Structure 1
Amino acid sequence: MMLRVLPVLALQAFLALPALAAPCGPLPPGAPAVSPAPRGDERGQRMTERTMMRAPAQPSDTLLVGDSIFARWGAASGDLGRPVTNFGVGGDRTENVLDRIDRAPFGPDAFRRVVLLIGTNNLARDDGCSVLGGITAIIARLHQRLPRAEIVVVSILPRGPGLRVRRREIELVNRALAEDQAALGIRFVDAFTPFARACDGQEQCPLLPDRLHPGPEGYAVLGQSIAAALGGR
């Protein structure tokens, strides 16, 4: 029944998911990464509800959707050179973002574009194919909720000592999103490469001081990557 009410682009994205998961193949029904679910921890629930309450009061040019990498980006508007509404929640996985998008009170014309960065927290539980499935499910849902918005998807950033943790899975997801961006109706931003190049061979990189979240210099790199992709749009 849900497919009947999806806009054409969202329907195309939804139907394309099994093919886009190749060489992964479709996820089994009920896979956690693609099944909307609220946060199960009390702290996460509080952060989610605070973020949900801010969203309708801050319609803006750009909506940032993601986890703590976005939630901690206090200078996002300045780094991107445009007003933003930050819809990031620390600790979120793809299923939590799906739940938030379903419940968000904003209307279909609230934002000109959405910038999505999600998936790193799934890697503690999910393989690369599951993470890819979760991200593509979010893309389809965003097309449904904000049918006229441009959807920009940022690559998962490298992480861990030497930026080697789950690197094969991260590169699988990023490569698939880059190759299938036209079919998904998105613009893909490769932020992985500038971090990987700048931090190559360093066990402790100043761009990612805790080996996961950008520091001030890292957010500048992230902002430059996204801003370059957006250009003057």
Structure 2
Amino acid sequence: MMLRALLLLALQGPLALSAIASGAAAAPCGAAPTGTLASSPAPRADERGQRVTESRMAALPVNPAETLLVGDSIFDFWRSAAADLGQPVTNFGVGGDRTENVLDRIDRADFPRDAFRRVVLLIGTNNLGRDDACAILGGIAAIVERLHRRLPRAEVVVVSILPRGPGLRRRLEDIEAVNQTLVRDQAAMRIRFVDAFTPFVQACAGQEKCGLLPDRLHPGPDGYRLLGASIAAALDGR
């Protein structure tokens, strides 16, 4: 019942119900920045990141599902994604990825022809602190453009950056600027935006450490159920 109530609130207006929102306006970035680290394809420099990336790349053509998950550790660690979303998925998430690493991976990927009906993207939290909101938006826009080019028949779904840190306040201004701009520009970007930020904020209001995000970044089992329900509800309402 709590999940349903939170989702009904969230669907009334993306990001409008954040209990801790600062009211920051969407970042006035203008045209998506180019040439930044966030929007320039780059492979992972660390051994573990390279190993996981190559493993995901090798598994990509094997029995692909209609829904492709693309992102960082929040997707990489989502072992219950198929159950939480109620549909088979191919998980293309790699822990630790920033936008530039996803760009590199998409450029090199051997995508099965016409395999994916939908791509769900969640990326950007690892760019926080190094990149400002406009640079992160430029990276996300570059990924979306690549996905439209590489998978022209697939719907591209972009999930909001989730809240993080003590009291879910860390880098809040940048997170809200990115999310609010994606809400505003989703038609121009040819994406469907999913607000998963608001349900987490509502459920965790007033808590310095929330059980839905036990390490203050990654969802726990209940958090993943909420994330899956947020995505599924938005897709069901199209």
Tell me the TM-score normalized by structure 2: 0.86
SS, match of residue 158 in structure 2: strand
Among candidates 57, 70, 87, match of residue 82 of structure 1: 87
Q: TM-score by structure 1 length? A: 0.88
Q: Is 1:196–2:213 an aligned residue pair?
A: no
Say if 2:160 and 2:194, in contact at 8 Å, map to a contact too: yes
Secondary structure of residue in 1 paired with 2:157: strand
Q: SS of the residue aligned with 1:153?
A: strand
Partner of 2:9: none
Q: Distance in 1 between matches of 2:198 and 2:31?
A: 28
Q: Which residue of 2 aligns with 1:136?
A: 141
**Counterpart check, 1:36 vs 2:22:** no
| Corresponding residue of 1:3 | none
Kindly indicate whether the alpha-carbon contact (under 8 Å) linking 2:33 and 2:135 is maintained by their aligned counterparts in 1. no
Structure 1 CA distance for aligned equivalents of residues 122 and 34 of structure 2: 24
Q: Distance in 1 between matches of 2:33 and 2:191?
A: 25
Instruction: Give the fraction of aligned pairs with identical amino acids, expressed as a percent.
Output: 73
Partner SS for 1:115 = strand
Runs of 4+ with deviation above 2 angstroms: 25-30
Q: Letter of the 2:157 partner, please give it.
A: V
Give the 5 Å matches for 1:3-42. Answer: 23-26=28-31, 29-42=34-47
Which amino acid in the other structure matches residue 98 of structure 1?
L
Contact 2:27–2:133 under 8 Å retained in 1: no
Residue 232 (structure 2) aligns with: 227
Moved more, 27-36 or 111-120: 27-36
Q: In 1, are the aligned partners of 2:33 and 2:134 still within 8 Å (CA)?
A: no
Ranges in structure 1 where 5+ consecutive residues have no aligned partner: 1-20
Secondary structure class of the residue paired with 1:110: coil
Where does residue 111 of structure 1 map in the other structure?
A: 116
Q: Counterpart in 2 of 1:184?
A: 189
Residue by residue, what CA displacement relative to the aligned partner does 1:77-123 show, whole Å, maximum 9, x if unpaired? 11111110000000000000000000110134110000000000000
- Shift of the alpha carbon at 1:124? 2.7
Amino acid at match of 2:102: V
Equivalent pairs counted in the alignment come to: 213
Shift of 1:25: 3.4
Structure 2 partner of 1:18: none
CA contact (8 A) 1:71 1:88 kept: yes
